[in-house]
Amino acid sequence: MNRQIAILGSSGGNLYNLGGRDPLKLLDEILVQLKSAGLSCGALQFIAAEGSMDTATDRTPAKLYGWSVTQQQPIVVAEGTLEEVNQAAERLDLEIAEQIELAEIDGLIVMSADPEGCNRNAIAAAVKEKIPLTGTGGSSMAVIQSKGANVIAASGTTGTTNRTRAVAFATSLSKHWKLSYRPVIGQAAASTGAGDQAVSASPWRRISIRGIMMASLPGFIGMALILAASKIPGLSALSEVFDLMIKALPVILSVIAAKQISELDEVSIVAGIVAGVLSVEGGIIGGMIGGIGAGLIVHYVFRKCVEWRFPATTVNIVAGGISGLISGLIVYFLIAPVALAAGEGIRALIETLVSWNPAIAGLVAGLLIWPAIIGGVYHAAILPIVLLEMETTSNSFLGAVDMVGLVMVSAGITLANIISPRNKGEAAVAAPGFAINMGFGTFVEAAYPFMFSNRLVFAGAIASAGLGGMLVGLFGVRGTAYVPSFVGPITSNNTTGFLISMAASLLCSFLITVLANRLARYKSSSNTLGM
């Protein structure tokens, strides 16, 4: 049978600003880690006030969470003013103390507890039975230790997060009982969530260039929008902001990489920032490498610090700061020149291929872009190249092909199905897609239902993308997608050329789809008459 753990405490003063204001999320993190260690919650007494305990009064609204044995999750057992909730908590404290004396509780987790008030009976029983206790809250833990409790790990709250506290608690208890425990890192769901979703503890499996690039895309788009705004009369000063944002791109990728790989919330974010700042000279490739390194190192440093029983606050400081420094310094001194050269090499290769015959290069890119996105190649290969191109000028050749070959073609297909659909129901399906295509420069998948149900529409999409790509090459356009259609030309190096290319793709796909729909309707009516 699993060892039973009682969780005691409150939303606290400092804890309130570090996760205590969302008690269910805080408790969920603990429950997930306990389950991974083979431990179970046997009792719960958690007072959640609607404000920091440092400034709370007896009239402050509060809730008391207890443990439901039947539902196996936290439930609200009392609600009212803090004074009323404290009275209910004292009754629950007596029940938990009795559970401890009956050997139904094997260990305690305490957070910002009140060992002289609402938790005095449970703490006294824990001291008497000498059960292991771990927790956070500087002053409360000091009082608990002075009472002679079997404290196996204690820490302040500053610098901790819900996840790092939970991992520290589970590590301390599992090490005390010599249990096998692998921290569950990721968006795990506990008893109050939507089910268990344990993520592999190996950070290596979470390295995804595609995922890092996709998550970082808003930073690149923001840079493109700043460039477009800087071209407006009177806003030329924004060009300095654009130069600053270019330098920030490696930091953005580093933070995203570190967080996705280690998934230790604020700890990994800090590590990613430190590594990113030191990796700026390596461009976005250097920033990504720095972030990946920081994410890997912070994962292992964090675990080791917890195993060595460092206080939780110290664990976060060491894991976040040292990990970022190690990875960042490696990139700064060893990898940055190579990473920068690699990025320049890829950009030079694209420019060389395009310069040989721009129209043919655009045509080939346009013809291949739909098969690429349908086959899953786009986000894995093309998008990283687009971002590398955008790193220096905020627009790219393939970014322009994306806008004319995917977004405008999808807009043309959906517009045709609004104006001249095969049946009335398709107009309602097409309208949201068209609006998103034009308003946000994305959601090209809106065209899929019409492309996959009609070969002529599918062929028309590829042909229209090829036409648009050829015009992009012919006019020497560099641009981007993922922005509103009316902003796209402004962010490009050739506003007129981009407008013509976009209009041509949209009109071509629109006309072919209208023709395909009319043929489909004619064929349907002929079959009906033939019957």
| Beta bridge pairs of residue 3 | 39
Question: Minimal CA–CA distance to 64: which of 13, 108, 114, 11?
Answer: 11
Structure tokens at 514: 């209208």
% of the chain residues with pLDDT over 90: 51
% of the chain residues with pLDDT over 70: 94
Range of weakest confidence among 95-99, 169-173, 481-485: 481-485
With respect to residue 345, please indicate whether it lies within any of the assigned structural domains: no
Distance between CA 113 and CA 61 in Å, rounded? 18
Token pair 């700043």 is found at 226
With respect to residue 86, please indicate whether it lies within any of the assigned structural domains: yes
Q: 250-299, pLDDT tens digit by residue?
A: 999 999 999 888 877 788 899 999 999 999 999 888 999 999 999 999 88
Q: How confident is the model at residue 89 (pLDDT cuts 50, 70, 90)?
A: very high
Do residues 280 and 151 share a domain? no
With respect to residue 117, please indicate whether it lies within any of the assigned structural domains: yes
Contact (CB, 8 A) for 497 and 475: yes
| Beta bridge pairs of residue 153 | 134
Q: 131-163, pLDDT tens digit by residue?
A: 999 998 878 888 999 899 999 988 777 767 888
Secondary structure class of 131 (helix, strand, coil):
coil
Contact (CB, 8 A) for 319 and 302: yes
Do residues 372 and 515 share a domain? yes
The domain boundary, picked from 283, 309, 337, lies at 337
Question: Minimal CA–CA distance to 450: which of 437, 468, 440, 441?
Answer: 437
Structure tokens at 490: 């402004």
Q: b/e per residue, 339-353, with b = 16+ CB within 10 A? A: bbebbeeebeebeee
Q: 505-519, pLDDT tens digit by residue?
A: 999 999 999 999 999
Q: Domain count for the chain, please give it.
A: 3
| CATH at 19 | 3.40.50.10090
With respect to residue 183, please indicate whether it lies within any of the assigned structural domains: no
Structure tokens at 493: 């190096």
Q: Determine the pLDDT at residue 218.
A: 83
Segment 46-72 shows an average pLDDT of 91
With respect to residue 188, please indicate whether it lies within any of the assigned structural domains: no
Do residues 457 and 418 share a domain? yes
**What HEC string does 394-450 produce?**
CCEHHHHHHHHHHHHHHHHHHHHHHHCCCCHHHHHHHHHHHHHHHHHCCCHHHHHHH
With respect to residue 166, please indicate whether it lies within any of the assigned structural domains: yes
Q: Determine the pLDDT at residue 528.
A: 60
Cα atoms in the 13 Å half-sphere on the side-chain side of 57: 1
Domain range for 113: 3-176
Secondary structure class of 105 (helix, strand, coil):
coil
Do residues 333 and 281 share a domain? yes
The domain boundary, picked from 337, 365, 399, lies at 337
pTM, two decimal places = 0.67
Range of weakest confidence among 10-19, 164-173, 310-319: 310-319
With respect to residue 198, please indicate whether it lies within any of the assigned structural domains: no
Contact (CB, 8 A) for 477 and 469: no
Please determine, for residue 189, whether its predicted confidence score (pLDDT) is greater than 80: no
Please determine, for residue 238, whether its predicted confidence score (pLDDT) is greater than 80: yes
Please determine, for residue 185, whether its predicted confidence score (pLDDT) is greater than 80: no
Distance between CA 276 and CA 265 in Å, rounded? 16
What is the average pLDDT score of the chain? 87
Q: Determine the pLDDT at residue 440.
A: 85
Say which DSSP state 531 is in.
-
Distance between CA 528 and CA 531 in Å, rounded? 5
Do residues 327 and 374 share a domain? no
Q: Classify burial at 278, counting beta carbons within 10 Å of its beta carbon; exposed 0-12, middle 13-18, buried 19 or more.
A: buried
Q: Determine the pLDDT at residue 196.
A: 36
Cα atoms in the 13 Å half-sphere on the side-chain side of 463: 15
Do residues 230 and 121 share a domain? no
Do residues 493 and 369 share a domain? yes
Please determine, for residue 199, whether its predicted confidence score (pLDDT) is greater than 50: no
Question: Minimal CA–CA distance to 419: which of 521, 504, 517?
Answer: 517
Do residues 10 and 136 share a domain? yes
The domain boundary, picked from 337, 367, 393, lies at 337
| Beta bridge pairs of residue 64 | 47, 78
Segment 390-418 shows an average pLDDT of 90
With respect to residue 526, please indicate whether it lies within any of the assigned structural domains: yes
Segment 233-257 shows an average pLDDT of 86
Neighbours of 264 (CB within 10 A): 27
Largest pairwise CA distance in the chain:
94
Hey, what's the torsion of the CAs at 520, 525, 529, 531, to 10 degrees? Answer: 60
Q: How confident is the model at residue 333 (pLDDT cuts 50, 70, 90)?
A: very high
Segment 291-317 shows an average pLDDT of 83
CA triplet 119, 121, 127: central angle to 5 degrees? 100
Q: Determine the pLDDT at residue 19.
A: 86
Task: Give the helix/strand (H/E) hosting 43.
Answer: strand 39-49
Q: Which amino acid is at 448?
A: Y
Token pair 């608690």 is found at 169
Pairwise pLDDT comparison (243 vs 473), residue with the higher score = 473
Do residues 29 and 164 share a domain? yes
Please report, for residues 183, 309, 316, the alpha-carbon distance to residue 294 in angstroms, rounded to integers and kept in the order given: 18, 22, 14
Q: 215-231, pLDDT tens digit by residue?
A: 888 888 887 778 777 77
Report phi then psi at 521, rounded to 5.
-65, -40
Q: DSSP string of 115-184? A: TTTTTHHHHHHHHHHT-EEEEE-HHHHHHHHHTT-EEEEEE-STT--HHHHHHHHHHHHHHHTT------
Question: Minimal CA–CA distance to 86: which of 111, 63, 52?
Answer: 63
Question: Minimal CA–CA distance to 162: which of 270, 299, 16?
Answer: 16
Q: DSSP string of 252-309? A: HHHHHHHHHHH--THHHHHHHHHHHHHTGGGHHHHHHHHHHHHHHHHHHHHHHHHHTT
E runs forming strands in 253-358:
none
Q: Determine the pLDDT at residue 173.
A: 94
Do residues 430 and 491 share a domain? yes
Report helix angle 408-419 to 424-440, nearest 10.
Answer: 150
Segment 449-465 shows an average pLDDT of 94
Do residues 216 and 165 share a domain? no
Do residues 369 and 514 share a domain? yes
